[in-house]
Amino acid sequence: MNSAVILLTNKECPWRCLMCDLWQNTLTQTVPLGAIPQQIDYALAQLNSKPEQIKLYNSGSFFDPAAIPLSDYPAIADNVSFAQHVVVEAHPRLVGEKALRLRDLLSGSLQVAMGLETVHPEILPRLNKKFELAHFAQAADFLRREKIAMRAFVLVKAPFMNETEGLEWAVKSAEFAFACGATVVSLIPTRPGNGAMDRLMKAGEFAPPRLATLERALELAINLRQGRVFADTWNLEQFSTCSTCLEKRRQRLHILNLTQEILATIDCPVCGGL
């Protein structure tokens, strides 16, 4: 399926999650009415063809009215009326009536992407997500009842975890997301760069996952066979210590993402695949 992602510029997300750097390209004010449909129009004009699936990601929650004005929903739905599937992102606590409003305006189906991050009972509260697993499960249940699909973002090696825990809890979190009805889990290797994570790194409370941990998390989560699992391969070099195997491993992850089939690991004579 052809898929495109449009990154919308809008007001900064009101949450302040510890590991998030999405505020870097946001605004302090709500955008004027009509600005979001205009952004979508502009982005679509850059594409050669109309994709079957379109993701409207806004570095926050689509259902936050300070980010995406409710009165823009009809024009937005009109903009993407060609798409069979529309994906938006939202914090679990903002999933409700507005999701139904958008669903009813769309020609295609709606899917909501929610950041689960981790199901680790002590670390989830420390991420400042300000939700409990029950909130996530309730939002997922609401979406399921309303025939709206759901996908989840899961961190590979959240802060305060070592490499082994990072892998173990990524897979447990994917299992939880699938049990809540997710059809897709996206595995996000936790990155520094937002200031807070860099301070944790200095204090020895966070280190990014190794590439091998991301690879293993993807394999194990695919092997759950509960739904599709994708590894985020953006800036993958951050997680690699070896230029000899990086491109081959990037390619392998890409193939795993596309096929959902496990390939043999890359045997690297220099780093041994760490």
Is 85 in contact with 59 (CB distance < 8 Å)? Answer: no
Contact flag: residue 244 with Zn ion (CB under 5 A): yes
Alpha-carbon gap, residue 274 to 269, rounded angstroms: 11
242 binds, among Zn ion, ligand SF4, none (CB under 5 to 8 A by kind): Zn ion
Contact flag: residue 268 with Zn ion (CB under 5 A): yes
How many residues belong to the site for ligand SF4 (CB under 6 A)?
A: 10
Helices (H), 66-132: 73-79, 97-105, 123-126
- Quickly tell me which residue has 């699938």 as its tokens: 178
Helices (H), the chain: 35-45, 73-79, 97-105, 123-126, 133-145, 163-179, 196-202, 211-222, 246-259
Measured from the CB atom, the residue of 230 and 266 that comes closer to ligand SF4 is 230
**What type of residue sits at position 36?**
I
Binding mask 46-85 for ligand SF4 (x = CB under 6 A): -------------xx-------------------------
Query: According to CB under 6 A, which residues from 160 to 189 bind ligand SF4?
Result: none
Contact flag: residue 36 with Zn ion (CB under 5 A): no
Measured from the CB atom, the residue of 79 and 190 that comes closer to ligand SF4 is 190
Alpha-carbon gap, residue 48 to 69, rounded angstroms: 28
Alpha-carbon gap, residue 155 to 105, rounded angstroms: 32
Contact flag: residue 243 with Zn ion (CB under 5 A): no
Measured from the CB atom, the residue of 84 and 194 that comes closer to ligand SF4 is 194
Query: How near is the Cβ of 249 to ligand SF4 at its closest, in Å?
Result: 27
Contact flag: residue 152 with ligand SF4 (CB under 6 A): no
Is 194 in contact with 19 (CB distance < 8 Å)? Answer: yes
Interface stretch with Zn ion, choices 47-55, 83-91, 134-142, 245-253 (CB under 5 A): 245-253
Measured from the CB atom, the residue of 70 and 270 that comes closer to Zn ion is 270
Query: How near is the Cβ of 25 to ligand SF4 at its closest, in Å?
Result: 11
**What type of residue sits at position 22?**
L
Query: How near is the Cβ of 274 to Zn ion at its closest, in Å?
Result: 7
Residues 6+ apart with CB under 8 A from 66: 11, 14, 30
Contact flag: residue 87 with ligand SF4 (CB under 6 A): no
Alpha-carbon gap, residue 6 to 2, rounded angstroms: 14
Contact flag: residue 227 with ligand SF4 (CB under 6 A): no
Is 79 in contact with 40 (CB distance < 8 Å)? Answer: yes
Query: According to CB under 6 A, which residues from 89 to 148 bind ligand SF4?
Result: 91, 115
Q: Which positions touch ligand SF4 (CB under 6 A)?
A: 13, 15-17, 20, 22, 59-60, 91, 115
